Every structure is written in structure tokens, then in C-alpha cells.
Amino acid sequence: MALELISFPLCPYVQRSIITLLHKQVGFTLTHVDLAHKPEWFLALSPMGKVPCLKIDEHTVLFESQVINEYLDETIAPALHPADPLERARHRAWIAFGSEILSDQFQMMIAQGEERFAASSRQLFDKLERLDKIMGNGPFFASEHFSLVDAALAPLFMRMEILHALRPLPRWESLGKLRRWTALLMELPEVAGSVTADFPDRLRNYISEKGSLFLRSA
């Protein structure tokens, strides 16, 4: 397969699929689009005008990161989802929960008013604390084995560490299990290699351009 992943450099959902592709050591090309000025060829490929899209061949395109990762996992070894149907469903549920956390994180990053900032921050950390409570002894979500949950949550945790460096976040500091999990994930080549070396600067510049309260209150 000559896979092509359509991307936006800062998108955490694209990053989920890059991590999965890198973990499975699959060759692929990465094509970036400007989401502020979406080209017609991209809109023709993406029914919702969102990234990521995975171009399988000239006629076949998948969209939505969870769908893309499920396809990759079903067609390319090693399998990252559990074999047991109930455990696999549980993993899918926590991936969906991770998407909700990413939404709260994004809202906190770009919040321009005190009320919106406080609400999104509270929602974000309430969910992170819930995730911390259900986390086992690790080192990964599924104990010893890297899974699609790890691939899905690594972009969230990477951004948490960058945000924490920009502005101390005491509630993040207190989440011992998540911080240990994060440290392990950040050391993995597939996670480190899923973004450019200047990613922290790019993210900070993006937040700054949004006029976010996050940096003004730092």
C-alpha cells in the first residue's frame, strides 16, 4: 500500500494516526493542508472538511482518526487492540473519552475570557482526574502492552506537558499516574517522531495568535 495521510501540523487527531503508522512501521507520505484555506482537492476527499484523511489508493479515502487507526490495526500487525470483545469495547470507550478531553484542552488553550477559561479548565481536569483514577499500574493503559488507547492519548499528554511548561498547572502536577504514563510515552520513538522538532514553539505561537487568556494569565 502507498498510504498518504492528509494532515494539519498541529492536529492531535492526525498525530494519533501518525503514531499508529510509526509504531507499525508502515511507510506513508504526509501531506499538509491549510485548514484556514481548504483546497478544493481536500474538500473533495474529506466529507467533513477535517483531518486526518488516509488515502489508501486513487479511489479510497478513510476519515476520522479512530476509524483510520482501527483499519490500520485490523490490516497490519501487530494488533494493538485486545482480542477480547469486551476489553476491546472498553478501549474504544476510553479513546472516545480521550477525544472529549482533547476538546476541553483546546477550549482552554484558546479561551479569551475568564469564564470560558475557567469552565474549560475545570472540565479538562475533572476528566483527567477521572482517567487517573482508572489507570492501573501501567506502564501502558493495557499494562505491559502499547495499545490504540496509548496512541490516542499521547497527543493529549504531549500538549499537557507543553502547556505545563508555559504556565504551571497544579492539577496536572498532582496526577501521578498520568504523569508517569506521559513520561513513558514521550520517550517512545513513534511518539517523539510524530511531530516536528519545533512543535512546542508552533503550539505556543498558535495559542498566542488566538489571543488566549492562557498565555496572558501565565
Task: Give the predicted TM-score (pTM) of the model.
Answer: 0.96
Q: Which is it for strands 53-55 and 28-32: parallel, antiparallel or unpaired?
A: unpaired
Along the chain (218 residues), what's the average pLDDT of each consecutive run of 10 residues? 92 98 97 96 95 95 97 96 97 98 97 92 98 92 93 98 95 96 98 97 96 81
Q: Describe the crossing of helices 85-110 and 12-23 by its angle, rounded to 10 degrees.
A: 140
Q: What pLDDT score was predicted for residue 125?
A: 98
The closest alpha carbon to 129, from 70, 170, 166, 79, belongs to 170
Alpha-carbon torsion (109, 105, 38, 21), positive or negative: positive
Torsion angles phi and psi, residue 109, rounded to 5: -65, -35
Query: How many other CB atoms sit within 10 Å of the CB of residue 12?
Result: 21
C-alpha separations of 51 from 131, 147, 212 in Å: 26, 22, 23
- pLDDT for res 89: 98
